[in-house]
Structure 1
Amino acid sequence: MDSEPIDPNIHKNSGFTRVFKAFSYSLQGLASSMKHEAAFRQEVFLAVVLIPASFLLQVPLMQQLILVASVLLVLIVELLNSAVEAVVDDISLRNRPLAKRAKDMGSAAVLLSLLNCFICWASVIALNWDRYFS
């Protein structure tokens, strides 16, 4: 496979321009994920419910940070999984063992992040059970 020539001026932005462009690209990535990725939309819905719920729970700050971070981690991993899938599909839509492995690993990472989120929430609720349900 031949690689395309690299333009040496492609990354010449610096300072505030670079930060602004990076932020703009990040927003484009989020918008694209919302438009094209059903799983990401579902996980954003989960975040919209769980993150405010974490503020309603009267738990220590560290536990609240764990709750929020576990939800954000799901979104981060889903974005990375979607990026891997997009690159694999852009290269070829043929069935290839390594492409399948890459996609399956990305899916497994999302599953583990969801499991982590569940464990974090269940643990914080269990630690504070008496405060709410006794």
Structure 2
Amino acid sequence: MMMRKFLRSFRFATAGIVTAFKREQNIRFHLIAAIIVVLAGCLTRISHVEWFVVILLIAGMLALEMVNSAIERVVDLATTDFQPLAKQAKDMAAGAVLVFAVASAIIGLLIFLPKWF
């Protein structure tokens, strides 16, 4: 019984990932960016350590974008009226995505620029 419950949790998680990719434009943008980065990594033959960093950044970006989308949905579910705290929660979640995206871009430049020049 415990194993069935464990396996079912993977189905729920997969459904969440599929929903995010179907309904969220930003996560599709990040996926396209990730594909480009992976291709660039293959072409420039980045090291194993650099692949480790790139994979962590890609996974972190996609996961954080899904958390942001979940927060937005929960806030929208909680209130249909304009609430300053609801706006702040949504803005902070979006800000977290932006901070991680900028940091990821800087790290990406640090990895790839030396290989291109």
- Normalising by the residue count of structure 1, what TM-score does the alignment of the two structures yield? 0.79
Letter in 2 for 1:14: M
- Normalising by the residue count of structure 2, what TM-score does the alignment of the two structures yield? 0.89
Offset of residue 62 of structure 1: 0.8
Is 2:2 the counterpart of 1:14? yes
Secondary structure of 2:82 counterpart: coil
Letter in 2 for 1:95: F
Structure 2, unaligned runs of 5 or more:
none
Secondary structure of 2:32 counterpart: helix
Partners in 2 of 1:52 and 1:20 — Cα distance? 33
Secondary structure of 1:94 counterpart: coil
Q: Rg bigger for which structure?
A: 1
Deviation readout 1:75-96 (Å, 9 max, x if unpaired)? 1110000000000001112110
The structure with the greater share of residues assigned to helix is 2
Q: How does 1:118-133 map to 2 (within 5 A)?
A: 118-126=105-113, 128-129=114-115, 132-133=116-117
- Which of 33, 36, 40 is the aligned partner of 2:20? 33
Letter in 1 for 2:42: F
Structure 1, unaligned runs of 5 or more:
1-12
Offset of residue 48 of structure 1: 2.2
Offset of residue 101 of structure 1: 0.8
Secondary structure of 1:30 counterpart: helix
Higher relative contact order (CA 8 A, sep 6+): 2
Partners in 2 of 1:57 and 1:24 — Cα distance? 36
| Matched positions, count | 117
Partners in 2 of 1:125 and 1:81 — Cα distance? 28
Identity of aligned residues (%): 26
Partners in 2 of 1:95 and 1:77 — Cα distance? 25
Runs of 4+ residues over 4 Å off in structure 1: none
Letter in 1 for 2:108: W
Partners in 2 of 1:55 and 1:37 — Cα distance? 28
Alignment correspondent of 2:47: 60
Alignment correspondent of 1:105: 92
Offset of residue 68 of structure 1: 2.0
Alignment correspondent of 1:94: 81
- Aligned partners of 1:70 and 1:116 also within 8 Å: no
Alignment correspondent of 2:67: 80
